[in-house]
Chain A
Amino acid sequence: MSEQIDEGLRSELQRQGIWVTSMQDLYNWGRRSSIWPLQFGLACCAIEMIATAASRYDLARFGGEIFRPSPRQADLMIVAGTVTKKMAPQIVRLYNQMPDPKYVISMGACAISGGPFKEGYNVLKGIDRYIPVDVYIPGCPPRPEALLHAFMELQRKIDEQKLTGADRAEHLNAAQPSEFPVPAFGAHDLEPPANPDVFEPPKIDRT
């Protein structure tokens, strides 16, 4: 809960039947309880995503059941499946068309790193080369429970976002970019092969 209200005073007031909250808590509660994902799937992970949304796992319990067919109405992009190099520019374009605040879940081994197709010539080695990713879920494909877990992690992240101050949420900071360059189809590969503003290969100590 928010540090703007003293917890003792808050519980005392609640005992008296007065519920006190802050604008930030109310705002984030509303946002995290109605995350509308963009309705698109790329490969077998999409089948698990569909199962997550259907009755047995029921993503609606967390407020995420309204899959939108238009990026203009979506808050969350679930990159569910293998991103081929031919598909990558369309994904980035869809991301750019989503209004702020927007979030990305990279679902499954392929969307994270290329997965079993990493050594191939036609699969992008992770969607995080072009757009920022909030939650990664490993798995091939991840089970619906894993996607629910990722969804809850994202809700936790939204809950902690601040409305004001220097560490406020990215979408409230005009200096933060909300659109990223769409890669072009080159003669041998996508150009550029990765966006250096977003992606940096992990540095490891070899000594």
Chain B
Amino acid sequence: MTLESLEQIKGRAQAAVPGAKIDIIPNTGPSQQSSLLIDNEHALAVARFLRIDPALQLDFCSNVTGVDWLERTLKKKVKVKKVVDGEEREVDETTEEKIPGYLEAVYHLYSMTHKHGLVVIRMRTADRADDARLPSLTPIWRSAEFQEREIFDLYGIRFDGHPDLRRILMWDEFQDYPMRKDYREPDDYEYEPTPHDAVLARAREHYAPRPHLDGAENITPQQ
């Protein structure tokens, strides 16, 4: 059985779950893997629909991963009609759009019954705060349990409804979220015989209060 297009899935899901807001995130790259962005409030119901709908039966969640989107500005060139020197002309105008940062959880779904897939669904948090929340989809796909724990561990997304939300790779006392883009690792720089670029910057920073120890800060990049 061939898989429906994302537009069809979106339309049927919205019909099945009243009030659900689903957007298609286009992917124009070679993989053409566009995905469905599901609103957090109806995520569980939409996920249940994707799993039990007879035509879809996406019963296998193969992968769950997180994405950290920092605050960014989108620059767009728009052609605008403007009156220049008393004459109407088309002029390029750049508009800047500020997009606040957020965290994302991405689920890869397949169907073992129908042997089709992949359908990618996403959920977004409101912001990048320390207690950014998303609904857990572990009640729908049991295989998401450990991977949601991993996302919680490395990105700091708290999954509401997760049966056992603890850190899975780092120790419980650990407080940072190392896969976030603004994570700063502890200053455990070790000597390098020929430090350069980022390592040289780290060496200088590390030995600045104790220059007699290493002296890497005296090195110029040419050396």
Contact = CB atoms under 8 A, between A and B. Distances in A.
A136 to B, nearest CB: 15
Contacts of B183: 121
B165 to A, nearest CB: 18
B135 interface: no
A204 interface: yes
A204 B185 contact: no
A187 to B, nearest CB: 4
A204 B174 contact: no
A202 interface: yes
Given A188-B186, A193-B186, A202 B191 contact: yes
B216 interface: yes
Q: What interface size band does chain B fall in?
A: 20 to 34
Interface residues of A, number: 19
A34 to B, nearest CB: 37
Most buried by B among A86, A188, A202: A188
A151 to B, nearest CB: 28
A121 B178 contact: yes
A61 interface: no
A46 to B, nearest CB: 19
Interface of B: 169-176, 178, 183, 185-186, 188, 190-191, 193, 213-216, 218-219
Given A121-B183, A187-B173, A206-B215, 7 more contacts: A86-B170, A113-B190, A121-B185, A201-B191, A203-B213, A204-B191, A206-B216
